Structure 1
Amino acid sequence: MKIRPWKAVVIGLSACLSLAVAVAALPPFRTGERNAFATSLPPARVVDPGALAQAHAFLVHETRFDAFVALHEGRQLMAWGEADLPINTHSVRKSLLSALYGIAIAKGYLRLDQTLAELGIDDAVVPLTAAEKQATVRDLLMSRSGIYLEAAGEVQAMKDGRPRRGSHRHGEHFYYNNWDFNVLGVIFERRTGLSIGQALYEWIARPTGMTTFKPEHVIYEQARHSQHRQFVIFMSAADLARFGMLYADGGRWRGQPIIPAAWVEESTRAWSEAPDQPPFDHYGYLWWIDSDAGTAWADGWGGQFLLVDPHRRLALVSRNDTGRSRLQLGWFMLFDGDGWRSHHEQLHRWMIQAVAPAG
């Protein structure tokens, strides 16, 4: 197994150190019964069992994933590994928050055109300018706020790519920006009066029958250089697949609307070009878009992937357990993760083959 250059290791560890301390306090989350969720969903109709066998062998011999789950039309197509273990979702958290925004907007808690000034949002550590306060909720969801400040949870690439402050007006320029993402969490909790964990549980987890997620599986990290803390979501592969199935089925679970269908369509539209992020070519409202494949992805550091294929009503989840302590996280970061996205794409091809009639 290839070792990363020490410089990359040190950079990564410094970016995640405070999060690792927070994570260390979490329980191990072991369910006591591996893949207990397997009996809670009916099996999918499989056209090509050989494709599932190939996927299983690939997971065992060619990847470092700890869990993989695929659902087709709300039925279990494949489950492998620690599918019931709640794992840090890392940046997959952003797509989960996008869904909560769609529900909150439909409930009348907030609007896309509300500005930070209107919402009373500032940053006590580095105060916003009047121009920066004109950024809207929609700008933040598109990661186009034009606010270029340090934020909790940033990796070095984010810092290196940050534009100069004041170089772009709100709405003009896409930059993958943790300040935007963290502030969206703050706005959501202030406007709804709910914690992100409570909202996820009440609005999504319970209606879809998630088996392990609890409100306390959302924790927070406070940075020194920003007033606004980062929210961190732990969720199992099995539960994340149920969430993905909502987006694969127009916001419905077993025919019941959970997320507004119009929001599912709007939030996964190709709003911003995203160069140098293969296979992604665009960004939506906290979703990565692969226009060529017609898929939407939630993509998190360390090998956290949710792929939604609405045309085939497929939801695929691949996960890596990045740990719950400083030691676990540091050890995990020593090893190279090259190829994870391409591995997940290959698994997608096998899942298509498993459910699609030949020809």
Structure 2
Amino acid sequence: MSAAPIVAAALMLVGCHRPDTQAWPILLHAEARLSDRDVFAAQRVDAAPQSLPWPRSPKPLVWPGLPEAQAGEAPEAWLARQSTVAFLVIKDGRLRYEHYSGGYAAGDPIPSFSVAKSVVSALVGVGLQAGWLQSVDQPVTHWLPELAQRDPRFSRLTLRELLAMRSGLAWDEAVGNIASDVAWYYLAADLRGWFDSLDFAGEPGDAFRYQSVNTQLIAAALERASGQSIATLLQRWLWQPLGAEYPASWSVDALGTVKAFCCLNAGARDLARIGELYLAQGRWRGRQIIPSSWVAESTTAIAGGEYGLHWWTPPKSEPRRGDYYAQGLSGQYLYIYPARRTVIVRLGERNGEWWPALMRAIAEAN
């Protein structure tokens, strides 16, 4: 069946929310893929002038039992069969294990999808430490006053509530449904233009509802507060100070606005540096980059839930051991286990619900 009728029907549903013309190839395959990195324009994030390669550990990685493993299957074969393109383990500040497949190599920028949301949370911490952000309990209209003209409830919506995914906004996050808000936001030509049509389904602070537009609102506030784009903030405050070996990129819409909610493209080695910064309570080589209080607060699940301030924690059914992670579509993970001094990065094309439990098992076996 031709994709044209599907696309035409979807466009009728979208109405005034015009898709970016660069996104037509994505429309035709109707799902987000790693290859989307090459479809969208992007803002470059430069590597550190003096990079800091990871020191290597002489110890081999001890593997626990692998889900869905075949008899006698090597870990590398298993990773490839799970559509994993990058898998990396940092233990005690040393590179314990690294493997790539699917044509990817260490320096390749790989889409992180919603792992980017946790990077935005880290940049909130940067703003708090640097002083250009005063408090996450300020309303978003402090930086985006035009939103109050749309609905007075925006004046009661704080950065904390956006970070906690408790904005009360009306938003359809049905990933895989081409008519959903998130699907068309991914393709949008004007991300900020969508702010003009946002409505509330409830009150700020209401129940948890995972919504990508919340992250984009946070990013817009950070850009207003700092006077710099999210990609520039990443380069200046994280990528280069942490000694990134390779450049990254952050995809943008047709107007150059960074797709903060989804589209940071980075190598696994350098993504792991953010995990290592969090292991060190926001301190790197004698410099406090993120307040230790923000590291603790943002990675702690809000009472009764499994989500902090743009970071995930293990399911409530699992024992609390202090581990937490950033998670993106198709099984992108940045996993951090402070008690085991372990950071794990997994990037791939296909998810498995058992990834967090497996990464915890790997950390505890080593």
User: Do Structure 1 and Structure 2 share a fold, with TM-score over 0.5?
Assistant: yes
* Residues 1:343 and 1:130: Cα distance change in structure 2 (over 3 Å): closer
1:249-268 alignment, distance < 5 Å: 249-254=280-285, 256-268=287-299
Do the aligned partners of 2:61 and 2:97 also contact (CA within 8 Å) in 1? no
Task: List alignment gaps of at least 5 residues for structure 2.
Answer: 1-5, 7-25, 183-197
Q: 1:58 aligns with which of 75, 83, 89?
A: 75
The 3 A distance-change label for structure 1 pair 155 and 114 is farther
Matched, 1:96 2:128: no
Counterpart position of 1:210 = 244
Partner of 1:133: 155
Corresponding residue to 1:200 among 234, 251, 270: 234
Match of 1:175 among 197, 200, 209: 209
8 Å CA contact retained: 1:147, 1:165: yes
1:156 is matched with: 177
SS at structure 2 position matched to 1:194: coil
Q: Which moved more, 1:197-206 or 1:49-58?
A: 49-58
The CA deviation at 1:142 is 0.9
Amino acid at match of 2:129: A
**TM-score, normalization: structure 2?**
0.71
Which residue in the other structure is 1:221 paired with?
A: 253
Which residue identity does 2:177 align to in structure 1?
A: Q
1:80 CA displacement: 0.9
TM-aligned CA distance change 1:345 to 1:12, over 3 Å: farther
Matched-pair identity in %: 27
Q: How far has the Cα of 1:41 moved from its partner? A: 1.9
Provide the residue aligned with 1:289 in structure 2. 313
* 1:130 positional shift: 0.6
1:22, 1:221 within 8 Å by CA — same for their partners in 2?
no
Measured in 1, the distance between the counterparts of 2:141 and 2:61 equals 56
* AA partner of residue 220 (structure 1): V
Cα drift, residue 15 of structure 1: 6.2
Q: Distance in 1 between matches of 2:295 and 2:113?
A: 21
Q: Superposition RMSD on alpha carbons, in Å?
A: 4.0
Q: CA deviation at 1:196?
A: 1.3
Residue 158 and residue 193 in structure 1: after superposition, are their counterparts in 2 closer, same or farther (change >3 A)? farther
Amino acid at match of 1:303: G
Asked if the contact 2:335–2:359 (Cα under 8 Å) also holds between the matched residues in 1, the reply is no
Separation (CA, whole Å) in 2 of partners of 1:154 and 1:192: 32
Between the two proteins, the alignment pairs up a number of residues equal to 305
1:71 to 79, 90, 109: 90
What is the CA–CA distance in structure 2 between the aligned matches of 1:57 and 1:285, rounded to whole Å? 37
Kept in 2, the 8 Å contact 1:213–1:235? The answer is yes
C-alpha displacement at 1:307, in angstroms? Answer: 0.6
SS at match of 1:66: strand
Structure 1 residues 154, 12: CA separation in 2 closer, same or farther (over 3 Å shift)? farther
Give the secondary structure class of the aligned counterpart of 2:152. coil
CA shift in 2, pair 1:260/1:70, >3 Å: same
Name 1:279's counterpart in structure 2.
none
- Which consecutive residues of structure 1, in runs of 5 or more, have no partner in the other structure? 1-5, 32-36, 275-281, 323-336
Q: Does 1:352 align with 2:364?
A: yes
Q: Distance in 2 between matches of 1:20 and 1:251?
A: 32
